[in-house]
Amino acid sequence: MKRLYLFSLVILPFFSCTTVYKLKPTALKLSSIDGVSLQEVSTKDCVLAAGYISNDTEQMKIMVRVTNKTKQSFDVQPIHFELSADKKVIPGGTLQALEPDALFTQLTNEAENLETRAKKNNWDGVHVLTETGVGQPEDAELSRLKKEHEKNKRENAENLVKASKKREKRAALEGSLMKKMTVKSGAFATGTLLFPSQFKDEGKLELNMKHPSCALSMVFQLTN
């Protein structure tokens, strides 16, 4: 009797927060862009306005608007932004804004890994499982393999759905996230930042902009 042995590829999960938190502004005076409430902080050289857009168990979206009051243009990128808080709120103390290209590569790799896992379990020689011989009883090992194969078929379908969602997420984010924006003298630029949803508890946190031409911080309240 021929036997087919099935193997599986282990995919390790990424850290994510099971509680979906949101940010509440602490300033009394707010402005609004496309339904997003923004609070502001400023220096003589620039103004930073920011507000919460949305959050899920993996990433939080924050809108930022940077106004340049200097006489020279400057570039702003996600690397210039971070969230910071007490370690009871953010376990690592800080969260760096995600670089879009790195995130897009990660989503593509995750989708391909899920698709590869499905293909590895989808053997062309499945018919071997039924080659018991006419009138011969099925042994325990073959019965186990059949059950494992049925389980793998279900997992394959689930993994292909997950892979499709990863690709859909990338498509939805492309074009909407800040990569690099040039802020001209006397003008402003608006972009969307994405942060990992690695929060532990409610509390105060700061959005920090660390830029030579615009170093500012503002306080939000993290709530669930």
Per-residue pLDDT of 144-196, as tens digits, reads 777 887 888 888 889 899 999 999 988 888 878 898 999 999 999 999 999 99
pLDDT for the residue 138:
58
What residues have CB less than 8 Å from 175, skipping those under 6 apart?
A: none
pLDDT for the residue 30:
93
Residue ranges of the chain with per-residue pLDDT less than 70: 1-17, 121-138
pTM: 0.74
Count of residues for the chain? 224
Spatial distance between the Cα atoms of 92 and 89, rounded to a whole number of angstroms: 9
pLDDT for the residue 122:
58
What 8-state DSSP symbol labels residue 1?
-
Q: What is the dihedral of CA 157, 158, 162, 164, to 10 degrees?
A: 20
Spatial distance between the Cα atoms of 81 and 101, rounded to a whole number of angstroms: 16
